[in-house]
Amino acid sequence: MNIEHVAIYVNNLEVEKNFFVKYFKASASEKYTNFRQDFTSYFLTFDNGSRFEIMHRQSMIDPKKDKYRSGYHHIAINVGDKNDVDNLTREMEDDGIFIVTAPRTTGDGYYASIVADPEGNEIEILAGNFGN
């Protein structure tokens, strides 16, 4: 078994798509639109085949995203080695992306940073091998 994809609702589909394409080299599907259901989405595919779906509805609500809440908290994306984590984090910071946590070795042995996407969702940027 494996997780086929993970999905989140976003306010601005195009901004989110462009964020993942630019920084994480995702390839975006054609936009799917279902006018009857007030639904649009993109599937973002990463180089290892994993997929992330971003979705939007005009009628959706947007509650405050408290850091410690039930539900999904963040996604983690493996970008290569420590230098890749450092370089991508620096590039994102230079571009004005909010850096939640600078690159460091975490308590559980990962080398990672945490950034916020344009809508405040946290993304953990990881070095390739656990503890390396």
Look up the CATH number of the domain holding residue 41: 3.10.180.10
Model confidence at 19, pLDDT cuts 50, 70, 90, reads: very high
Q: How many domains does the chain have?
A: 2
Structural domain span for residue 19: 5-56
DSSP β-ladder status, 74-80 and 122-127: parallel
The number of C-alpha atoms within 13 Å of 89 and in the hemisphere containing its C-beta is 25
Instruction: Indicate whether 113 and 78 sit together in one domain.
Output: yes
Tell me, yes or no, whether 80 and 122 share the same domain: yes
What percentage of the chain reaches a pLDDT higher than 90?
80
44 and 81 assigned to the same domain: no
Considering the domain architecture, whether residues 78 and 50 belong to the same structural domain is answered as: no
Q: Do residues 48 and 78 both lie within one domain?
A: no
Output the pTM of the full model: 0.91
* Distance, CA of 104 to CA of 4 (rounded, Å): 30
Q: Other C-beta atoms within 10 Å of 3: how many?
A: 7
Averaged pLDDT for residues 95-115: 95
Domain assignment of residue 62, yes or no: no
CB atoms within 10 A of CB 117: 21
Q: What is residue 70's predicted lDDT score, i.e. its pLDDT?
A: 76
